[in-house]
Structure formats: structure tokens, C-alpha cells
Structure 1
């Protein structure tokens, strides 16, 4: 079982001590090494279980991801019960959509990949219960990803014998993220503090130099620095909301076929813009048809101008192999539709996400527009490589773990890179850590949030309490109802009926 010591060096020195460590019991259980100032109390060993849930969601309209289209998704939710050396306990929760097409683009049948990701979640639930790490919640998450997750992934791929079609690392991070989030939530709940209050020296015993290394060409040091040093002084409760224009989304009435859902929610882009007061539109492109991509930017830009939208972004979803392709689309937009070009704030991940295998020099693209890593930004090391290749920004996602997102954010900000927080169409609980990340790290412009487009009713129980984060109004989301310890879910006020656990492990 992982051991957690979250005492600061000052606290360990024998001065007045408040206990900061805990032991995770479901799915992870931690016991805390005692400070010299504490009596040698032996932690209680309770029989607890790792609980993992799978929640199926049907989309009201399809979403096109690169070359694939999504019509349904399974959300993975995990619960962690933690206890400290004094026997105090607290629960933590994490959740993410298992977005198969995003983490594992492939010609392999969807259900094969879907089943593999669910199996991966189950294996990781068991692995977390057995993990014997040591440290603050951030340290535990980091050590698990460095030491245990690669082994679990190798075992899964070897056992499945998929003839070369291995589960990608990005998919493994996705599955790991639900447990990592639960750890951070539990840590805050145990100490009755919001998660983001626990990222400074009062709680963390190791500074960022334990996790990060600066670029050779940068006058940067992480010694004596903590995550707290790279966060905004005060979280932003109202964030500009980016709407996703998917590859098969309808733009105007000429595209209506009569088969659209009649469920009271908008279908056409212009209706969404009017209803939600949108000011920012993210446009999904194909990346293999320059004329189509150009025309899509033009058509969306026309609607944007007509309705007072201020910003666009272009997302090629890893389908481009040559920077000249992106440059051609941008240059043509600049020549023929300069206003649309000026409205385009940044370009997101045009090139394959296997950055180490595809070391493409992208300086020519980032000379035209800010260029953001997304799928490639698994961790700070790849952000470092991306910077060397010419990328200028990082799109963070909590579905690549809270731990990884925070470390990548710190590395990027220290090196002058811009940040954005991108969505994975996060519903229910998954929406809250997602929005909190954007509210605390500071982004180029607001946050992407689109679950209300594709499955708004999935979050009905949560929206009864947190209306402002599941509905966009005046182009914004409002986090003012998210408060209290942990991630501020306020679960005891949400009437969510969960299915039976898909997996449960005794510890």
C-alpha cells in the first residue's frame, strides 16, 4: 500500500506539527510515517474496497473526432477512501469519459478498444490498492505513473496479444486519471481544504525540482518552487466558454435533413451562439482535405462575425503530417478572409501525437499562429520536446491525470509557453476538476466546455446544484457554487444514483 508523507521540512524538524499524510483505502490505501513530534501510533488497518463504476451515456448528436465519429461514451468513476495515521478517514472521487476514439485512433473495431479500456480501468483499480508509494498526493500520483502504470500497460498488452495493436500510453493515462483525481480529492477532503490550497509548502514536502527539469537554454530553476507558485493568486469563477464545432455539426438550415433530434436543445450553430451568448468557437477540421478545412473555417467564421463571436481556434486532431498543409490553410485564410484569420487565436495539435516518433519542426506554423500541443502533451518531458520543435502552447486536460496536468502547466509557464484547458466532453463530476484547472492555472482565453452540446441531460443531477457549470450563459461558465474541501463537488447535495460497481477490490 502506498505510504504518504505530506509533512513539510519545517514540520518534520520537530516544530509544531499538524498531520498532513493519509492512507488510501478505496481504491488506494495510504498510511503515514509519523513526524518525530508525533507519538508512534500504528495506523489502523481496515478492510475496505476499491470501487469502480462505468456509466454509459448516449449522445444526442454525433461528434466527429479526426477520422472517427462518436455516438456514445462510457464514463469511468472511481472512489478512494483514505485514512491517516490517527485513523481519520475521507473519501475522494474521480471521473472521466473513456473517449476511445480520442485516445486510441485506429481501424480496430470500436468495441474491441472500448472493452480494452474498461479492462485497463479494472486492472489499475487493483494496482492502486497494492501500490506502496510514499509522499504527498502529487508525489503518489507521479510515482504511480512513473513506476506502476508502464508495467500494468505492458502486462495488459502482452495478455491481450493484439498482434501489434497495443493500448496506447495516452489511453492508459486516461484510465489512470480517475484514480489520480480521486487521490487529490481525498487529500483535500481529509484536511478539509480545497484541493488547490494543498499545492504549496504547507502541505507538500518536495519542491518541483523533484519532478521537473528545465530546458538547457532557459534560465529557469524549480528549486524552492511549488505548484502554488504557478497558479493564479485567486481562482477565476467566471470563465469564457469555448463551444465545439464538430466535423459533422450543422451550421445553417440548408444542412437540415429532418432527422435531427427534437429535444429542446439547439441543433444549428447560430442557435447555439444566440442561446448561450457564445464568444469563442473551436472548429474541428479534417487535416486531410485542405479545401474542406479552409471552407469550414470560412463558413464558421461567417456565422461568427454575424453573431458577434470574438475568437476562433482550429483543431486538426493529429491528422496532418506536413506543416505546409497547415500553412496553406492559414495563408489562404489570411489572404482571402483576413478578419477570420485575425479572429483565429490558436491552432491545436495538427500533427501526430507520437511526438518522439514524429519530430516535425513546426516553427513555420507557430510563426503564423500560436500552436498548442494537446494529445502529444502526455507529460512535461514531451512539452519540453515540443518547445524545441517550435510549439508555443500547451492544451491541458485532466483526463491525462491531475498530477500530469499540473506538472505540465508549471513547466510550460516557467518557460513562457501559453496554456489552454481543453475538454474531453466532460459531463457529471468530470466537469468540475476540468473547470477548476482552467480557473487556477490561467489560460490564453477561458476554457473549452461542450458536454452540454452532446449529452446535456447526463448531468441533470449535478446541474440541479451547479447550474452555472453545466449551462453556458452570456458566453461564460460560472464556478461560484463549487466550493468546500477537495474538488468542491458537494456530493452529499447531489442526487446521483450510481450503478453497481463494475469492480471492487479488498485491501
Structure 2
């Protein structure tokens, strides 16, 4: 069915200060503003019907591009310039047959513009993904279908063979779930400076806002079993910290751990030695670790000369790419080198993640182990986190990293009306504690059946009057 993209609005939702600092490897502390970038589209079909669509993400420029050639203000300005350029491309291609056809037409143009502007491919993926998801949301709503139903009924035009010709006539639809997953284990992020227990947090440094502040407190309150632990690239420091963290996790029934390097290693031999030492000195945590995510810089990750060492490491622990997943062929390249996994993040592109899902099924059918993981870019309610859970339900991923909910104070960035609607419509996903609404984590899990609604997981319109046009927003750090 022909569609027409009538308008694209770029807006900002101002965020309050984080309640706790969040440190990751290889990234400067000033890596994102106090803001969520929101895109609103209006899409019409050939029947004369029209609908809004929305997407949102934290503009975490310091994660997208870790080069030190620009100041934080310049990095943010450059990222917004790329988002604006991507908007122009989408508006220029306003008539389209399906969301996938529009994405397939615009994606290479955005990549080309990003290259001309000296952006990392990951930044191009971020800009493209915002527009892609907003259009998908609008088209699903026009059809009165959920995301899952839209894929099942071929309403989005998705064709993974167009991205990965190697799939040929592979019957990828056979590997979709019979119904979308709506319950997920939360993999709690443990940042580099997060307090582990009360000995790490002096009384005068406590926030005292009624929410947990140490890992120990979160485990007790939320019943967590899954954890994502950040490592810094300093083996001595990391191993000592891992030992202290394991002192808390060992008390849990069947704890599950993943490590995330955030590109903190530039030397592959140094990383290989870390893995060996990790097994020798922290055997308990090592045996409970599922995989190690993005330990090396993105350039080293995709260097074919590392294949021998990467395969040796992967035999000990599976390796996953994240920041290195900037283009549609990044995972297929990494897989040849020896990486088994690739992260899903909506901010890198939904269609790319769905294509990687098909690629994993294809490799697994050949007897080659491949998998996707669910990771997080500090997804916040309402739009970003709900769309990410909705995508995960289609990708058959049963546990996912979540961190925005504990570095930020619940839904405090939303209007009173939005919070009231969220609690009423998504009573499974959110809960009220005191005067604020929060993610409803029980037994370490989230239930979100209510997200199976027309559109891409967004049941009601955000309070547009609470947002600021991007061109009018003054940077707030």
C-alpha cells in the first residue's frame, strides 16, 4: 500500500539530573546531555487515513563516537546536524510503498552523508533508526496492528535477503516466535563507579530518595538474577572489583553475568590475558558469565588479522559486538572473525536487528552458534523503553540490560498526565511508589503484555506541549 510521509518534527524532552553517576569504559563523563531526542512523524495512506508515529532516544554522542577530536558541545551539535540531515532525506523520499522500502532507500543516503560529515557509522545508524522507528510506529497504527502482527502479516515489507543476500530462500519466518514474548529478566547494569555495598557509599554521599543505591540493595529489593558488569581495560582493577561484586552475587540462586568492555581494550593480547586471569582468579564468576561484550575498539574488532586470537578467546567465552555494529554487514564480518553474538539496540536500527535475527537463525541451522543479546542505551519511559521491549518480544530475547531506571528517578521526567496514563494503561510495566512511578520489577523480571497495542509499543501520544523544538533547545548538561 502506498504511503506518504507528511511531516517530521524534531523535539527534545528535558531530563532532570541523574540520581546516580553512570561510568563506562573508554567514554568521558560528559557524554550526553540531560535530554531525550524525540521524533514525531505524520504518515498518510492511499485511503486518506493519517496517523502519528514517534521514536525517542538519549543522544549519547560519547558512546556513538569515542574520538577525542571535538568538545562535548561540538559532538552534540554534530549529532543533531546529522539527525537534521537524515530528516531531509526522509522528507525528500516522502512517497513510499512500505517502511522497509523507505528505510532501504534512505539508509545508504544517510550513511553517505554521515561519511561526508566525518561521522562514525554508529552515529549514522542512530540518526536513521529514529526516523525508521517513527515511521514503523505510524504505519502499524494506521493498520491497527501491533509490531508483531505487522511482521507476521507482511505489512512492513521486510526482506532480509535484501540486506543479507546469503540468506537466499532461507525460510526465516519459520523462526519467528508463535507469539511475542512479554516477560523479560532484567539484566541490571553495574557501572564502573556503582557502589557494591554500604562500604562503598558513605552516609553523606547517599541520595536518600527511597530507592536502592547499592548493588546489594537492588538485589534485595528487585530479586535480580541477571547482571551486566562494566570493565575498564585495567585488569588489576577490574579483577579486584569483579571479586567484590561476586561476593554479593554468589548469594543468589543461579546468578547470570555478562561483562561489557565498551571498547576499553586496544591490545588484543592484553585482553586475551585478562580472560585467562579472569578464569584463574575469579572462577566462580567466570563460570556464571555468559559472554563478554565489545571488549576491543570497533576498529580492532573488525580487523581480520585478529581472527586466530579471537577464535581462541571465543572457545573460552563467547564474544559479542556492540559499538562495532555500525553497518548492516558488521555482524556478518565479525562472525567470520570469530564473534558469536551481536547486540540488539533499537538505537542502531530495528530492521538491522531483525535482519541479524534472521542471520543468527541461518548460521545456527548450519551448526554454527550465533545469538543476539538485548542491551541498553539508558532507555527511558515512555517511548524508548517501550519500543525496545516490543522489539525484544519479536526477537525472542529473554533477558535484557536495563540501566536508565536506576540512574534516573523513575518517570520523574514525564508530566503528571503522562504518568497517570502510563500507570493506567501499562499497569504491568509501571508501579507507583510514594509520589513517583517506576519500572515494576518483580522477582528480577518485567511483565509488559500491555505493550502489544496498535503501533510500535506506544499506546498513547506523548504530551507534545511538554517538549521543546530541537532548534529552540538550549544545551543542558
For Structure 1 versus Structure 2, the TM-score category normalised by the shorter chain is 0.7 to 0.9
> Of 5, 13, 21, which residue of structure 2 is paired with 1:55?
13
Higher relative contact order (CA 8 A, sep 6+): 2
Residue 124 in structure 1 maps to residue 93 in structure 2: no
Find out whether 1:142 has 2:74 as its counterpart. Answer: no
The answer for the alignment partner of 2:426 in structure 1 is: 466
In 1: Cα distance, 2:320 partner to 2:428 partner? 28
Distance in 2 (CA, whole Å) between partners of 1:326 and 1:141 is 37
Match of 2:379 among 422, 426, 430: 426
Name the counterpart of 2:150.
Answer: 198
Separation (CA, whole Å) in 1 of partners of 2:278 and 2:115:
45
**Does the aligned pair in 1 maintain the 2:196–2:214 contact within 8 Å?**
yes
Deviation at 1:356, TM superposition (A): 7.5
Q: Which has the larger radius of gyration?
A: 1
Structure 1 runs (4+) deviating above 4 angstroms are 494-497
1:69 is aligned, of 29, 33, 39, to: 29
Partner of 2:145: helix, strand, or coil?
coil
Q: Does 1:488 align with 2:433?
A: no
User: CA separation in 2, counterparts of 1:352 and 1:192?
Assistant: 43
Q: How far apart, CA to CA, are the structure 2 residues paired with 1:442 and 1:409?
A: 9
* Contact persistence 2:36–2:58 (CA under 8 A): yes
Per-residue deviation, 1:150: 2.4
Partner of 2:320, secondary structure, is strand
Q: Which residue of 2 aligns with 1:442?
A: 396
Aligned 1:44-443 pairs, distance under 5 A:
51-57=9-15, 58-67=17-26, 68-70=28-30, 72-107=33-68, 108-131=70-93, 134-146=96-108, 148-155=109-116, 157=117, 166-200=118-152, 202-203=154-155, 207-214=159-166, 221-223=167-169, 225=171, 228-257=173-202, 258-287=204-233, 289-308=234-253, 310-354=255-299, 358-359=303-304, 360-361=306-307, 362-416=310-364, 417-428=370-381, 429-443=383-397
Higher mean displacement: 354-363 or 305-314: 354-363
The verdict on how the C-alpha distance between 1:283 and 1:356 changes in structure 2, with shifts beyond 3 A counting, is: closer
Whole-Å Cα distance in 1 between the matches of residues 245 and 169 of structure 2?
A: 46
Question: Given the superposition, is the C-alpha separation of residues 467 and 65 from structure 1 closer, same or farther in structure 2, using an over 3 Å criterion?
Answer: farther
Instruction: Give the aligned CA root-mean-square deviation in angstroms.
Output: 2.3
**TM-score of the superposed pair, with normalisation by structure 2:** 0.86
Moved more, 97-106 or 195-204: 195-204
Deviation at 1:183, TM superposition (A): 0.8
* Offset of residue 125 of structure 1: 2.0
Name the structure where helix makes up a greater proportion of residues. Answer: 2
Gaps of 5+ in 2: 365-369, 430-438, 473-477
Unaligned runs of 5+ in 1: 1-19, 28-50, 158-165, 215-220
1:128-179 Cα offsets, whole Å, 9 max, x none, are 1112564321221122112x20233245x2xxxxxxxx32221122122211
What is the CA–CA distance in structure 1 between the aligned matches of 2:199 and 2:249, rounded to whole Å? 17
| Cα 1:118–1:307 shift into 2, 3 Å | same
Q: C-alpha distance in 2, partners of 1:486/1:205?
A: 16
| Residue in 1 that maps onto 2:4 | 23
